Structure formats: structure tokens, C-alpha cells
Structure 1
């Protein structure tokens, strides 16, 4: 039995030996002549190592020969079929394909040939390859693409081919490693110069199998399995080349694959996301590839090492389309434009993900990341939003990052991210920052929300933040500085300062965790202001105070992190001292409570109609107070308001969660106003003057006799104010306490904000509840 001849040598993709058919051996044949027709039946023969078990040769017209028609069927090695495609006249159409593969195993073949007997006629062929399922030993069928590690095994199905339509198959099954495949083959434009053969491979692959075949540090962020389709396209006229160019496209909707990273990269398993990897393979390296993933595009260039391993050489990524070109060698370039980006999910993801594996590997093999350039229409970070953001992120050789950006809300900004093992701080510089959207977003949250104890203050590290112009809306608050230092049990904010036109404030704070994982934040604040009224107005807290220089000390602590401050859980102490100022128009409920203060106008106006005083406000000389905070309540230990017409002492508590007051107020008019006025009304100016003189002689004893006491209860915006006994001290005000309830019914209560004004009830002339019976 002769061995199968080897494929002839090739030079520049041209045959150096003539194309010819291998000889038939061991032929059993019978000839039949009928008129001008010749038929040869070949029940058995051998061609190479293939056994022919049914063959016919026909020449319909011996007098006018055109074609020798050959039909043959046989079984033999797939290598024989590859040899026939490469060395016979079939090589003119299929020789390049044959030379691109190695095969093993056996199969069945049916072949129909039209061998022209006239040089003007074309060669004709058609046939079918059949691979039946088999379990016999040593019959494994394989096909390997030369120059790659791709080897298909377990091939089953039927492949058809002819000179007009090309190759066609739709029911071939094979395995690529452990991956089961379905293969389809189709020729487009058969018979034309632009005819192409399309090969499609379908499969479903779990991520675990991909991680085994293609090791990468990125696989831990993927989970599931997904369907995919690999399309190979070969132009038929290129098949004669030794290494024909093959266009390929790997595509998938990625349904079933979950990517555990935030948007716009991440996705759930059920969400479809278009993916495509495409390129042209011709055994030439490096090999350029194109990637399309939803709106993201990338260009990759990979190279093959002498040991056959593949590695990327350069990469360009555009978050909003396809990059224009590849970057320089051994580098990565990232850029693009995004309509929106939410940073919170990315920060949460980074905090809860072990990213050390991404930095594994030999630094010499890693590509250099070039400056990252991003344009983001709407960037969200917690309650902070930045519009029209333009950012450049520059990685440094020592592992740190330098970020420069411009945004509508912040102006120019710079961020310096330290290297992972560095002791340097996170350095942030902002040209300006508006607090209003942050405060408004904070106000929309419930005060009773649970503190976030998941954040570990030990991971906060060093921070160096400066905001050159801190604003609240259009008002400038000043220059903000924050500096922090880590501790073994958390972090201490060494510097918290705000210096502006109306404030000079400094503070220290600690954010700590104990052995039971209890997290707490504490703050010590010392602030001076030349105009507290202006500062409160510009901060958006209070707009009814004018002037008033002052000093405030605050010690406060609460469970959770700095962002978990809640009046329901905070505890501490507030000491304040405010200089002279004026309270202007108030909210209806606040104005009603501060009607207490308006009684002092008696020293300047002996009139019973004080309704306009609620609109004009109240002038004071000094306010001093000490307030403790705890269990959701503010307890006023002492709060003194000293004013020319009267001194006011307030004590009691305020429910900070429910907004309910329970306070005692004592008004002590100056120069015995209460008694002097009563004496004037009862006995005339002489009696009033006598009372005034007695007060001066007794060092205010007469004045103390004129005290009035009140009880303030109910909601902050609409409190109930009742006159009560002064508590045993002799006072003219006590003379009217018995009528308090009756008088209270006569007092018209001002409507709360948002309510309509009701018709005035029948009542005394005065509009102040503290002037009843005067």
C-alpha cells in the first residue's frame, strides 16, 4: 500500500508542481459502451488511503467529447481530503483553505467531477463531506487552524460544496476544548469574483471556562454564562493564498453575563448589552482588533510571543464611540464624553472590592497609561452635582494621580490622589463650592434615619482640602480649610476653619470606632462673627437678625460618621454670647413667641396698640445662653436677653425632632415699667413717678415687682403662650394670673405659615398676649 504523497512545495503562493489527481489503485471496474456513450462502473478502488466503494465515470458522446463525468463515494482519512484540495485542480478554488488547516480522523465523501475535455470549458465539481457520530477508538476527528491554538474535535455533520454556490453547511457540531459548538457555512455571491465563504460558530460559555482558557485579573468581576457567535469570512479568490486573509467578528448580547461594576460598564445578567470583537487574521503580527460594547469603543493591538502566548501591546478606549487611532507603543489611552456619571456607586464599589489583584504582575510587562481626558455633562457625587465637567487625569510614575478639572459650579479644581502605600494626604483644591444644593439635599432626608455604621473611619486617611470661595447661593461665606490625620482607632480632623467677611471659625473633630465597632463623631467648634445676622442669612439658616457680633462655642457628638449628624441622636453643649442687634420680621409662629420681647416697647411708647411692633422687630443689647443637647431635645439652662425696655429670661426645653416647645419665660421691664405704667393708669403721673423713684432707691426691687411670667408650649411655628405665676416672688403680674385662662380665650392666635387669615375675633385693643388687662 503506497503512502499518501505529501503536498507539493509552495513559493510565493504559486504552485511549483503541476496540479494533478492522485492515481486510482486496486481498481475493480467494468466498462460499457452503448452507441456513443461510455460508462465505467467502479465498485471498489483506492485513492491515497481512502477506500472508494461506489464510483461511476461517464462520457455521454465519444464523438463529441466535452466532459468526463465522475461520481465517487468513499471512506478514509480527512487528511486525504485536505491533500486533494491542496494538490488537484480543486486547489485553484480551495487550496488556500486546505493549507490553513491540519486535520485528523476519518470521514465519508461523495464527489461529482466534470473534467473538461476541451480547454475552453471550465472544470466542474460538487460534493459532500459526511462525519457520522462514532464511538470507535482512535477515530477522533480534529481540525486545527495553523498558527493558532484553535483545535476543533468531535466533528459531526454534513458539508456541501460545488463550483457555483461554494460551500454550505448548517448542521455541523464540534468541540473547541470543552466548548460545544454549532457551525454553519454559507457562500455568498457564488461564481463571481467577489464570492465569499462565511463560517459561523455558535456557543454558550460560562465565565469559569473562559477564565481557565484566558487567564486575566478581570474575571472576578464577571459571572454567569452567555451565548456568542463567531463569524469567519473568506473571499474565495483569496483561498489560493498560502495564508489567506480571514475577517472575523465575535458578537454577543451578553445575556446571562453579569458584570459587577457600576454603570456605564456594569450590567445585570438579564440585561442585554451589544458586544462585538472584530479584526482580520492573516498570520501577521501584531494583530489589530476593534471592540464595540454598547456606546464604548476600543482599539487593541496584540502580539504573539515566540512561545505562542498573546499579549496586548497598545490600547485605546473611547467611552462615547470609537477611538480615532491607536496610541504609541506600549501604552493605554482612555477618553470620551458622557452625558452623566454617578460617582457614589463607583466609590462604594471600590471600597468593597479587593483591587490589589489588578496591580499584580511584572511592571515591565504593563502598559503605560497616558493622561485620561473626560467630558461629563452631569457628574453626581452624593448631593454635589457638577455640570459641563472637563477633566484630565494624569497617572504619575510613583503611583499617585493628579487630576485637573473645570466645571460650571466649581470653576477650576485640582485633586492629587496619593499612591496606595503612600503617607501623603488626598489633596483637593477648589476655586469655589456652593453649599446650597448640599444643604437642601440634606434637608430632604429624614432626621430619624439610621446612622451608617458600615463606613470604617480607619480607612479615611489623610485629607487636605481647601475651597477658596465657599458660597451659599450667591452669598460668599469665606475660605474653607479641612485637614485630617489618621489614628489607630479612626481619624482626627486637626483643622476645620472658615474665614470670611463675617466669620472666623475654627474647629477640631474626631471620627472614631471602638472595640465593639461602635462609630462616633465628635466636634469642638469656636467661632467669632462681626455680624451673626449676616452670617446666618448668608448661610441660609435665619434671615430675621440684623447685625449682632458674637461668639459661639459648640461641643457636639453623634453616632455614625460626619455625614450622619442627626438632632435626634446628637448630644453636647452650646454656649453663645451675642452683642447688640435687632430682630426683624419673623415667621408667624416665631413672631408670636417673640411677642414677649415687644412688651419692652412700653418704655418708649405708652400706647396699647403694639401690632406694628411685630413688624418693626426688637432691638436688644446682649444675648447670653447655655444650651445642652441630648435625646433629641435642647435644654435651655440659661438664656438671657438684655434690652433697653426689658430683660428676658428663658428656660425649659425644645423637642428638636418634633419641633415642640416647653419653656418658661420671665419678662422684667426696666425702670419698673410694669408697675409704673399700672400706677400711672390708676393714680396719675404723680403715682407713676413715685414708683419710678422707689425703684431707683431700692436697687431694682420695684422693678422686680413688675415681673411677668409666661408658659410657652406647643409647636414651634404656632406656640400657645399663657401667663403664669412668677413662682412666689411678689409681682404685679401675679395679680392677673387668675384671669389668664379667661384672657387666653380672648387672644387671637396668628395663623401659621401657609394658612389663610381668619376674621379677627372680639378682643382687647392690644395685639400682644402679654398686655392683657393693661
Structure 2
């Protein structure tokens, strides 16, 4: 009666609203004088579909079936039910359903307190199956209770686990619901000790623990971080902290088992997720992790296109406040080693590299970086900054050839380039400023580009690479800007050399003053790249506006030359002006088989003595340059300071040889025209047919050296000649040919007999000094002639004639023998017949009887005329031209 009449008990019953069916009820008691017994009541019954509604901190249950027995403030409840619902709103945010539930409850009142034990608990539903045991002590007349609970679950899917987590763990439940995608939890053990209240899971006085083994789990970290897959490990919840220590886990297929995940201060506003871990993986996987996580912001996307075959060790610490993700803290490091790494497709390749990369949420640091780049060693490290990769200092010692290959420049450099500078990552661009030491670099480039090396002065280089694909390289030498190159997607789009001017896209400007330009060298340089397609090697329009202090071209040197023009792919037009050369030069299809050079020069002055002799490989290279079609006109041509008149040259290539259509000079006194061909190669040879018509031989000879050798005379020289070597440089040593000479109506003037050239030989002024018969009146003051004729055969620089005849007014001369044009020596027989009798000249007689030997004919002629026989003299002339030996042959001594 006391229990039933207790207001608190009655109030509890009103809230719980017990229901269900009781049967087989057996109640017994002992009463005295009709009063309700106080402690001797015994009850036992069966119940079906019984239940209680949840009320406050007291849970509710529906669908219980079993038996109950009560006696002397003790009870025993045996439950064997199917399809029950547990409503514990103080613990769970929704009712829990079980398809099967078995349990034994035993309660006993001790010292006014109910102690209830729960044993033999077994439950199952579609998610899980398990057992449990518990002890509950109810205090203060059902207003307060203490719980000691242990639950064991064999198996549950991880994505269903939040359904069974206490409602007070809101952030933890939310994190599990949103971040745990798959996997299973096995061997789950839940223990709870403490006062049963709405704040059970957040009170310091309560003890709630969960442990489990996780299999094949997948967790989305959130905040842009990559998921963790294939997780195996031990999961635990204790002291308001979730701890997960995986024995196996992967990120992008990389093993990250050496890691730990924690959620601290669950159920509070300070709930924080912490991830610590290390991973050893291919750098390609680590790069993917960086690029697909918030670390990509720290690197500003600088590693987006990195490619590497190396291995890296990642150490990561991640701290995420679940209520304030913007305060996420990140720090870690990556040890990188490998044989090949390329930061971007356009960046140079790093070989045999190693580096320590440290990072935070906003910044990345590089420590102790070492690698090989452009075949040479480089060391690098960065300075600490608040965001991005910051500034990276580096020192390198690289090979010049490899560096030029990277820039796609056809520049032939060898040796090592020493450099030091700073690389800086800015928003949307990468920049480098560094000094380049070129002391150990050798250049095979022609001048002037060989002038930047070897003198100890560094070249300053500024390099900028933008996200758009644009790259710019600026070179400063001393205090002058010497070059600027602008690329887009690795293609050169504009540039300057030796000029501070800015040009539009598609142009390359060469300006300023150039000390020395080796045009011959640049011809060879371009010719070597003919097969590489000149238009692809350098696709820009080259603008030239420069003053060159010295130009080496075609073996000659020209000083103070102004050059203005342009060149596009294979065509160009240039204006040239200096004291020695002036005019226009046009190039078409240069570098191709149809290449042609057209020129109209108002003046050209060259010296044979200025041309340097080449030999060996250089000579072979010169003679094997590709043949070009040439059409050139020179209005005023000077050779060795002597004006040679106007020159025309026309030639076209033909199956490996040069067909020379015309090489001619025109002066006031004569015209020289040559036609033929030139076969280049290691044994080059030129063949010409020569026509030389001179209206005034004396004036022509005077134009050659400024000395008077002859007065008047009109002559022709014609025939075929050939020699080894260049078609523009006569090689006397290999000269061969057959020539016909005829000169009429002239007079040899009084000249220095020791002049040392062939004119002094023909003038015969050496004879009077060496003969006893005085012919001074005949030769010393000059020899007038009506006609000179000869057929000359030249072999290896030695000219031979069987009949060189001079018919003069005072004498007739016949010469036979040879003259060495190289050594300037002679070996001649000279027959001189003064015209004493007025008979026909020797020259005319010999010309009329060519089949008769000259000596026999002269002897016969002299014997027929006593006067002539007495006057004719026969001489042997030997030695050099300037001082010959003359010996008179006595009559009868030479047969």
C-alpha cells in the first residue's frame, strides 16, 4: 500500500503509462485483521507485448514478452521478446529497434535503494548482434540513478554506427555520418559508468568508453583533404576523445598506416579533429595528395604539373576545429629523393635529386635541396614566408650545351656555367634573378656572340614565367642590356639583341653597336642547320639596325659598316653602307636548295692580301658550303686599291656544281668575261672560258700598278683555264689552260729591267746589258711592235710556248720556252733579228711556216741572207724575272 500510495511512484507510473497483457497472474499475501500486507506480497505473472513509455531520464520500451516474479522486495524478470523498441531519449536521438531481445533482470531493495542487475542480455537487428550486462542503482525515490553497463557487439556497418551513438555527441555523430562512408566495426565493446542523466556523456563524473576493430573503412577528412581508404585498425572512445590508430590505411593507394586520428572534446564547442601520420610513397602519389588537398593553396598550384619517378616520405599533422574549419592548422614535411623530377612541363628536369620540403597551411619551405640540372650540380633552399613557396636561393654549376638545348636555342657553347641567384614564386608567376659566370665557357658561335664569354664579367639574367604560358628572359652585361627573349608555350615570340628597344610579337631586333661581326662564320653556322629547316629554327622576322665596327666577309675586312634590313625565315633585304662597301643585298629561300642571293653594290673594295689562308677542316668547310644562286652587280669594284670597273657575277647550282653564267669586268679600256663551272668539295676545281678584250693595253697595265709599261696596243686573250680552289681566287700552283694571245700596234716603254714581272721579260730590256753587240738603240728606249702573237699552254703554273712572235718596226723577235708563274723564273730561247735589210720579218716568216722548227727556219733564213745572218743573235735566258742570266749562243754551237 505504501508503494502504491506513494505520490512519486504514482506520478512515474502516469508518465510511463505501462501497457500490455498480463496472464497467469498469481498473487499471494498474508494479512492480519484484514489489513494490506506490508512485505509479504508475492507476485508472478506472464506478460505479452508489455511496455513503458519513456519519461524524462527514464527510458521506455515496447513489445516485451516474458515473465515476472516479485517477493519480499525482490524481483526477477525474464524477457524473451521479438520486435521490441527501446526509447532512451536521454541517450539516443531516436528509438532503437531490435528484432530479438533476451534478458534477465534481477532487482533487490537494500537499505531503501533498489539495485537492479541485468544479465544474459542478447539482442540483434538488421545492423548488429550483441550481448550486454548492466547494474543500476536507483536513488532518491526514482529521481536519481547510477548505471554500470557493458555492451558487446559482434559486427556493425560503419555508416550505421552513428545511429547507435549517444545523442549528446552531436558533432561526433555528425562527423561519422558525413565522413565515414564504408567499412565495418567488429568486436565492439561499450562500457558506461556513472549517474544516468541527460548530460551523462559530457559529465566529468561519468565514464563512457567504446572500443572496436575497424575493417576496410573509408573516411572523408573534409575541408578539401583527400579521403583515407582501406582502413584497418583499433577505434576507441574514452574521456570525451575519439582515437583511431590504423594498422593499415591508404590515401591514393599510398600506405599511411603509421598514423593516428583523434576527435578531442566531443560534445563541446571545442570539438577538434587531429590527424597525425607518415607515409612512404612514390612522389607522383604525394604530388597528387598535395594538388588535391588544401596544400595546393600553399604551393599556389606550383606543383600541379610536377612529374617525378622518385620516392617521398610524408609526415603530416592536421588539426581541424569541427565548428570552425577556417582555423584549421596544418604542418608537415616531405623528404624527396629520386632520379628525375620536373616541376612543370616547361621547367628543366632535375636528376638525382634530394630535398626536404616543410609546409604549413599557407607556406612551403625547401631545405637542403640538391640535384643535377643541365648535367651539373645545383643546391637550393628557400627563405621562410607567410604564404606560398616564397624565395628559393640556389647555386648551380651546369653545362652550357644542355642549358642551350633547354632554351631551344641553336647556340653552340661548351664548358660549365656557374650561376647563383634567387627563384621566387609570386601570384600567377615564377621569377628568377641570377648571375651567370662564363669564365669556363667556350663558344663556337661566330662573333660577336663569342664576346660574352671568357673575360670574367658575369651576365645578369632575369627570368619570368607566368601562369598564362608566357616566359621572358633578359640578359644584362656590365651596365648594358644585351638581350631580351620572350616565349609563349616554349616558342620564341619576340626578342632583342644589343638593344633596349621594345619590339612587337614576331620580331627579333639586332641593334646598337657591334664591335666585330664574322659574317663568314655566321654563313657556316646557318648552313649547318639547313637540314633542320631554318624557318623552324628561328621563325621570327629579324630586324637589323646596327653599326658594326668590323665585318669579316668573304675573307676580307670592312670597317665601320652601317647595316639596316630584315630577315624572315628564309628571305631578307639589307642596306649596307661603309667606305669600302655600299649597296643592297637580297636573300630568298636561304637555307633551301632554291636559295638565291641578289646584290646591287654601288662600291666594293677588297684586298687580296687581306684574305687569310685557311687549311684543314676549316678549308673543307668553306669549300663545302651549300651553293647558292647569285646575281650580283658591282658598279665600282676596287682590288688592291686599283679600280677594276664594273663587275657582274651570275651563277646557279646544278647537281652539286656551280654553273657560272657570267663573271665579267668592264672598264674604260677593256672587258673581261669568263664563263664556266665550279665543282666544290675536298678537291674543288674551277673551269673557265676566258675572253679578254683590251682597247688600250698600256692604259690597262698602268691601271694595275700605276707604272708605265707600254704605250697603246690593242689586244685579246682567249682560251680555257682551270685551277683548284675558289672560283674567285686564282691559284697559280694548280693553274692549267690553253690561251691565245694577240696584241697589235704598241710600244714597250723604257722600264726598270728588274721590275720582276712578265712585262719586263717581254720588253727584252735585260738583253742589251749582256750582249757585246750594242742593241741599246733597239730596246733600251722602248720597243715598238706591230704585232705580238702566241699560243700558250699552262701546266701547274708553268706557261710554255713554242712560238711567241713579236714583229716590230726595228726588229723581229721569236721566243720559245717556259716561264714559271709561281716562282717567277724563266727558261727561254730568244732570237732577235734587227730589220737591217728590209727583208720580211722573222715573225712573219715563222708565222707563214709553222711546221718548220723555229731554229732551223731562222738558220735557213739567215744563210739565205748574208746581212741577216750576220745581224741575228740567239740567246738563252734563265733565272728569275728581275735578274735573269743571259747567254749568247755562238753560231754553230747549238744544233
Q: Under TM normalisation by the shorter chain, which class is it?
A: 0.5 to 0.7
**1:537, distance to aligned residue in structure 2 (A):** 2.5
Against the structure 1 CA distance between its residues 541 and 416, is the aligned structure 2 distance closer, same or farther, given a 3 Å change threshold?
Answer: farther
Against the structure 1 CA distance between its residues 388 and 553, is the aligned structure 2 distance closer, same or farther, given a 3 Å change threshold?
Answer: same
Provide the C-alpha distance between the structure 2 equivalents of 1:177 and 1:671, rounded to a whole number of angstroms.
91
Partner of 1:345: 521
**1:563, distance to aligned residue in structure 2 (A):** 4.4
What pairs up with 1:211-250 in 2 under 5 angstroms? 216=408, 218=409, 221=412, 226-233=417-424, 243=427, 247-250=431-434
TM-score (structure 1 length as normaliser):
0.60
Provide the C-alpha distance between the structure 2 equivalents of 1:413 and 1:636, rounded to a whole number of angstroms.
45
Q: What CA deviation, in whole Å up to 9, does each residue of 1:579-599 have, x standing for no partner?
A: 222323224366996785588
Partner of 1:678: none
Counterpart of 2:742 (choices 571, 577, 599) is 577
Alpha-carbon contact 2:557-2:610 (below 8 Å) kept: no
Provide the C-alpha distance between the structure 2 equivalents of 1:582 and 1:146, rounded to a whole number of angstroms.
81
1:329 partnered with 2:505: yes
**1:707, distance to aligned residue in structure 2 (A):** 0.9
How many residues are matched?
Answer: 585
Partner of 1:480: 647
The answer for unaligned runs of 5 or more in structure 1 is 9-23, 28-48, 53-73, 88-94, 110-126, 304-309, 675-695, 731-774
TM-score (structure 2 length as normaliser):
0.53
Alpha-carbon contact 2:494-2:507 (below 8 Å) kept: yes
Partner of 1:91: none
Partner of 1:183: 380
The answer for unaligned runs of 5 or more in structure 2 is 1-171, 176-219, 226-239, 244-258, 263-275, 280-285, 305-311, 318-329, 840-860
**1:627, distance to aligned residue in structure 2 (A):** 2.1
Q: What CA deviation, in whole Å up to 9, does each residue of 1:448-501 have, x standing for no partner?
A: 999966666894242212111123466533221121233335222222222211
What pairs up with 1:100-139 in 2 under 5 angstroms? 105-107=313-315
Partner of 2:237: none
**1:281, distance to aligned residue in structure 2 (A):** 6.0
Partner of 1:314: 493
Partner of 1:6: 223
Provide the C-alpha distance between the structure 2 equivalents of 1:149 and 1:511, rounded to a whole number of angstroms.
48
Partner of 1:527: 692
**1:358, distance to aligned residue in structure 2 (A):** 4.3
**1:505, distance to aligned residue in structure 2 (A):** 2.4
**1:548, distance to aligned residue in structure 2 (A):** 2.1
Against the structure 1 CA distance between its residues 129 and 469, is the aligned structure 2 distance closer, same or farther, given a 3 Å change threshold?
Answer: same
What pairs up with 1:266-345 in 2 under 5 angstroms? 274-279=458-463, 283=467, 286=470, 288-292=472-476, 297-303=482-488, 310-312=489-491, 314-318=493-497, 320-321=498-499, 323-325=500-502, 327-345=503-521
Counterpart of 2:449 (choices 265, 271, 274) is 265
Alpha-carbon contact 1:224-1:269 (below 8 Å) kept: no
Structure number, greater radius of gyration: 2
Partner of 1:380: 552
Alpha-carbon contact 1:173-1:180 (below 8 Å) kept: yes
Provide the C-alpha distance between the structure 2 equivalents of 1:580 and 1:177, rounded to a whole number of angstroms.
75
Q: What CA deviation, in whole Å up to 9, does each residue of 1:525-579 have, x standing for no partner?
A: 1222121122122133964223322222242112333246322221112322222
**1:160, distance to aligned residue in structure 2 (A):** 12
Q: What is the SS of the residue equivalent to 2:732?
A: coil
Alpha-carbon contact 1:567-1:656 (below 8 Å) kept: yes
Counterpart of 1:715 (choices 880, 883, 888) is 880
Alpha-carbon contact 1:502-1:535 (below 8 Å) kept: yes
Q: What CA deviation, in whole Å up to 9, does each residue of 1:678-718 have, x standing for no partner?
A: xxxxxxxxxxxxxxxxxx99996522331111211122221
1:503 partnered with 2:636: no
Against the structure 1 CA distance between its residues 389 and 704, is the aligned structure 2 distance closer, same or farther, given a 3 Å change threshold?
Answer: same
Alpha-carbon contact 1:451-1:561 (below 8 Å) kept: no
Against the structure 1 CA distance between its residues 349 and 144, is the aligned structure 2 distance closer, same or farther, given a 3 Å change threshold?
Answer: closer
Alpha-carbon contact 2:689-2:721 (below 8 Å) kept: yes
Against the structure 1 CA distance between its residues 542 and 352, is the aligned structure 2 distance closer, same or farther, given a 3 Å change threshold?
Answer: farther
Alpha-carbon contact 1:258-1:268 (below 8 Å) kept: no
Provide the C-alpha distance between the structure 2 equivalents of 1:202 and 1:360, rounded to a whole number of angstroms.
33
Provide the C-alpha distance between the structure 2 equivalents of 1:609 and 1:215, rounded to a whole number of angstroms.
80
1:647 partnered with 2:812: yes
CA RMSD of aligned residues (A): 5.7
Partner of 1:636: 801
Provide the C-alpha distance between the structure 2 equivalents of 1:706 and 1:357, rounded to a whole number of angstroms.
76
Q: Which has the higher contact order (CA 8 A, sep 6+)?
A: 1
Partner of 2:161: none
Q: What is the SS of the residue equivalent to 2:526?
A: helix
**Which structure: greater strand fraction?**
2
Against the structure 1 CA distance between its residues 729 and 208, is the aligned structure 2 distance closer, same or farther, given a 3 Å change threshold?
Answer: closer
Against the structure 1 CA distance between its residues 611 and 170, is the aligned structure 2 distance closer, same or farther, given a 3 Å change threshold?
Answer: farther
Alpha-carbon contact 1:301-1:315 (below 8 Å) kept: yes
